[in-house]
Amino acid sequence: MNWKCLFGHKWNGCKCEKCGEMRNEGHNYLAVDGKCIEECSKCYKILEVGHKWILLEKKCIEKCTICGKERDSHQWDSGKCERCKKTRRVDIPSCMMCGIDKESIEKRQYEDRKTIEKARAQGSGMMMFGMTPSRDFMKCLKCDKIACSSCSTVNCPFCNEKYLKNSVIIKSKSVFVQ
């Protein structure tokens, strides 16, 4: 503690006006234009506020009204989107949030592996980044919906049921190149 505040701090939000010490309370968060964050005007601490999604008219795309990020938003029912009528195979596990399926991930991983093998054959010593990651798919036994590991956390994104108690994990095979 600074000698100026020997008899107590004079807090103005998260910052002491006398000695400049900071605390993790009393922040004055302000929205940052074009980003899904807020920043304290006193100590510049960042707070993530999350996206605010709206469905674009006549499209299966949601757009964040703050930062402009877009994501797919199909409403799948037995392999057909109820909005745009797009179809997909139903025998392949696919995420009901983002639409990614096990087969397309494995296809991209195969293409990544071929690119690396080709670079090695040409004697390239380059490092490859951006490999397609493997994803698991969780099927909730309560609501019977499937979500990939990128779209879900510990709970089902549809019914909020904990996956560890009430789910089936559908593994996606990984591609490792040495």
Q: Are 93 and 137 in contact (CB under 8 A)?
A: yes
Residue 145 has pLDDT above 50, yes or no: yes
Residue 128 has pLDDT above 70, yes or no: no
**pLDDT recorded at residue 123:** 66
Backbone angles phi, psi at 168, to 5 degrees: -125, 130
- What average pLDDT does the segment 148-167 reach? 70
- AA identity, residue 3: W
